């Protein structure tokens, strides 16, 4: 008997299941039974900005701009909810206020915090550094002064360590950086000493506002919030453009063969941008940072708590990120529906990555490149009417959960077979929330083959078949 599953526009964490398959290869169970495997954006951490998440000691620690003197830290065991705040850094003696954008990293057996604060002596914005023996602090300032004195305002410090060599990325702030009559924020980089307490060499300018989407705010424009990731021997420098309280605040990326450039901006920027008209609007997603859990890369970022009145009251979001085979970067966000927590936290693996994969046409690897294709179908699996594929396993995958992500702008139906037996037919409308997937929970099943056929113009972004380790 065929199953019909319409992916409905729904904001709740666990939407309704499709009807149970009678006599099918998969014996479906309520997804309510596994609600704790998922999280949903935005989190319960709000009235913050510029969030940075540190996985350490089996937990997650969140640091952020909080409108206070010093910095708070929040703790979570599962990325689902965040506990009461603690004070991580109370203050620095040279600081006059404007404590912004803390980032914390493990370094040489300790934890280092980089941050921005207004300097009492110069009244300009400067970068500070502090150390602690535990992720939650307390952090202590070893210098009693800014990390360096550039002679102009600098903010948004980020640490990047490449094969043991530390680098500092930061922003020359638009408050006192005027270029041809326009206030501009530019991203800069410089090598640090091994103890992180001094600069080595001359800083280099890495990016400035230049793409059309970055230049539509008149006489004030921004490249800020830099953070770097290395992949495939190349350096990916992410940044945010627009004012933090603007609905169009978004994230772009520039790529280089060297940590200090030259950097070339990716053509399909921005990677993370507002969602104005689908469900609850997502306004101002930006100032992101990254953290890894097992083999998965995640990004944290903020969005406006009140999209109709964007302001400094922002809230934490977390989504997955990665890279295509051609080297371009992607971010799976903003999502508004339940997302699977880090696989390694759940004792799971993605069995699709080890399967022998055959498809009727097109590039089957797009089904397991990590890109859910939430905003574009450029990297989606689009085989055409009646096309499909099959995953086969020499060693069966013990699984109780399957997630299938339909590609942006496509709709139609999907028929499944598991171990050669029918496992249902599912319909996907075009009216769905970003990040919404077909989620099937079933009794533990040893899966040796999973095949699928598409109809009605449906394309797929990703297939995630969880395997119990």
272-312 tens-digit pLDDT: 999 866 667 899 999 999 999 999 999 999 999 999 999 99
* Angstrom distances, CA of residue 306 to CA of 9, 65, 68, 284, 290: 21, 17, 20, 10, 24
State the DSSP string of 424-463. EEEEE-S---TT--EEEEEEEEEEEEEEEEEETT--EEEE
- Within a domain: residue 12? no
Answer yes or no: do 144 and 183 share one domain: yes
Domain boundary among 306, 336, 366: 336
Q: What is the pLDDT of residue 271?
A: 98
How would you classify residue 217: left for phi > 0, otherwise alpha for psi between -120 and 50, otherwise beta?
alpha
- Within a domain: residue 281? yes
Answer yes or no: do 219 and 98 share one domain: yes
Q: What is the pLDDT of residue 21?
A: 38
Burial-class residue 307 by CB neighbours within 10 Å (0-12, 13-18, 19+). middle
Separation CA 61–CA 77 (nearest Å): 9
* Angstrom distances, CA of residue 356 to CA of 326, 360, 395: 21, 14, 11
Answer yes or no: do 366 and 278 share one domain: no
Q: Which residues contact 180 (CB under 8 A, 6 or more apart)?
A: none
Answer yes or no: do 318 and 376 share one domain: no
Strands of 95-214, DSSP E: 100-107, 110-118, 125-132, 154-162, 165-172, 178-179, 182-184, 186-192, 199-207
> Dihedral, CA atoms, 125, 148, 249, 324, nearest 10 degrees?
-170
- Within a domain: residue 288? yes
- Within a domain: residue 253? yes
Q: What is the pLDDT of residue 281?
A: 87
Answer yes or no: do 321 and 383 share one domain: no
* Angstrom distances, CA of residue 453 to CA of 20, 379, 390, 433, 464: 20, 19, 9, 23, 16
Q: What is the pLDDT of residue 430?
A: 85
Answer yes or no: do 360 and 451 share one domain: yes
Answer yes or no: do 182 and 82 share one domain: yes
The 8-class DSSP code of residue 336 comes to -
Beta bridge partners of 154: 172
pTM for this model (two decimals): 0.94
What the block records as the tokens of 48 is 């913050």
* Domains in the chain, number: 2
What the block records as the tokens of 128 is 């500070």
Answer yes or no: do 316 and 364 share one domain: no
What the block records as the tokens of 353 is 């990555």
Q: Which residues contact 326 (CB under 8 A, 6 or more apart)?
A: none
What the block records as the tokens of 383 is 């085989």
Q: What is the pLDDT of residue 218?
A: 87
- Within a domain: residue 313? yes
Q: What is the pLDDT of residue 289?
A: 98
Pairing label, strands 234-241, 224-231: antiparallel
Q: Which helix (H) or strand (E) holds 389?
A: strand 388-406
- Within a domain: residue 14? no
Backbone phi and psi for residue 31, each to the nearest 5 degrees, phi listed first: -70, -15
Domain limits for position 452 = 31-38+347-468
Answer yes or no: do 131 and 210 share one domain: yes
Answer yes or no: do 113 and 236 share one domain: yes
Domain boundary among 274, 305, 336: 336
CATH code where residue 106 lies: 2.115.10.20
Q: What is the Rg, in whole angstroms, of the alpha carbon atoms belonging to the chain?
A: 23
Q: How many helices (H) and strands (E) does the chain have?
A: 0, 31
Answer yes or no: do 353 and 331 share one domain: no
Determine contact, residues 72/66, Cβ cutoff 8 Å.
yes
**Rounded average pLDDT per 10-residue block, the chain, 469 residues:** 33 35 75 97 96 98 96 98 96 97 98 98 98 98 98 98 98 97 98 98 97 93 98 98 96 98 98 81 96 98 96 97 98 97 98 98 97 96 95 98 97 97 94 93 98 97 97
Range 361-377 burial, b when 16+ CB lie within 10 A, else e: ebebebbbbbbbbbbeb
Q: What is the pLDDT of residue 279?
A: 67
Answer yes or no: do 438 and 307 share one domain: no
Q: What angle do CA 403, 466, 375 make, to 5 degrees?
A: 35
Q: Which of 64, 58, 57 shows the shortest CA–CA distance to 43?
A: 64
Q: What is the pLDDT of residue 160?
A: 98
- Within a domain: residue 21? no
CATH code where residue 377 lies: 2.60.120.260
- Within a domain: residue 362? yes
Beta bridge partners of 190: 168
Domain boundary among 336, 363, 381: 336
Q: What is the pLDDT of residue 14?
A: 36
What the block records as the tokens of 408 is 């942006």
Give the 3-state secondary structure of residue 418.
strand
Half-sphere exposure of 336 (CA within 13 A, CB side): 22
Give the 3-state secondary structure of residue 178.
strand
């Amino acid at each position: 008997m065929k199953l019909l599953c319409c992916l409905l526009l729904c904001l709740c964490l666990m939407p309704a299941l499709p009807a149970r398959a009678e006599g099918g290869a998969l014996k479906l169970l309520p997804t309510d039974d596994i609600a704790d495997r998922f999280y949903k954006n935005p989190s319960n951490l709000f009235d913050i900005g510029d969030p940075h998440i540190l996985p350490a000691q089996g937990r997650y620690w969140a640091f952020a701009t909080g409108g206070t003197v010093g910095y708070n830290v929040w703790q979570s065991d599962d990325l689902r909810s965040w506990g009461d705040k603690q004070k991580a850094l109370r203050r620095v003696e040279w600081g006059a206020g404007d404590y912004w954008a803390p980032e914390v990293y493990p370094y040489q057996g300790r934890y280092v915090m980089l941050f921005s604060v207004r300097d009492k002596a110069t009244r300009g914005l400067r970068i500070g550094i502090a150390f602690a023996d535990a992720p939650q602090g307390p952090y202590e300032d070893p210098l009693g002064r800014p990390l360096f004195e550039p002679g102009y305002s600098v903010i948004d410090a980020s640490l990047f360590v490449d094969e043991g060599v530390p680098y500092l990325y930061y922003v020359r702030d638009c408050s006192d950086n005027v270029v041809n009559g326009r206030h501009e924020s530019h991203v800069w980089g410089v090598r640090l000493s091994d103890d992180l307490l001094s600069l080595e060499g001359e800083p280099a300018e890495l990016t400035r506002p230049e793409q059309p989407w970055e230049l539509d705010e008149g006489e004030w424009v921004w490249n800020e919030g830099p953070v770097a990731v290395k992949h495939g021997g190349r350096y990916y420098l992410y940044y945010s453009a627009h004012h933090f309280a603007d609905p169009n605040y978004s994230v772009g990326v520039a790529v280089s063969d060297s940590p200090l450039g030259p950097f070339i901006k990716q053509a399909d920027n921005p990677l993370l941008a507002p969602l104005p008209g689908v469900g609850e609007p997502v306004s101002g997603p930006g100032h992101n940072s990254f953290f890894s859990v097992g083999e998965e890369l995640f990004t944290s970022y903020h969005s406006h708590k009140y999209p109709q009145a964007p302001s400094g009251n922002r809230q934490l979001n977390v989504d997955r990120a990665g890279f295509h085979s051609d080297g371009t970067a992607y971010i799976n966000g903003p999502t508004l529906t339940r997302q699977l927590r880090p696989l390694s936290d759940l004792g799971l693996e993605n069995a699709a990555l080890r399967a022998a994969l055959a498809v009727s046409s097109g590039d089957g690897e797009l089904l397991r490149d990590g890109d859910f294709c939430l905003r574009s179908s450029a990297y989606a699996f689009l085989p055409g009417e009646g096309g499909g594929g099959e995953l086969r396993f020499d060693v069966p995958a013990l699984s109780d959960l399957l997630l299938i992500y339909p590609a942006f702008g496509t709709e139609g139906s999907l028929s499944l077979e598991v171990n050669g037996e029918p496992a249902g037919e599912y319909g996907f409308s075009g009216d769905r929330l970003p990040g919404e997937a077909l989620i099937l929970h079933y009794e533990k099943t040893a899966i040796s083959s999973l095949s699928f056929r598409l109809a009605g113009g449906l394309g797929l972004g990703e297939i995630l078949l969880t395997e119990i380790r």
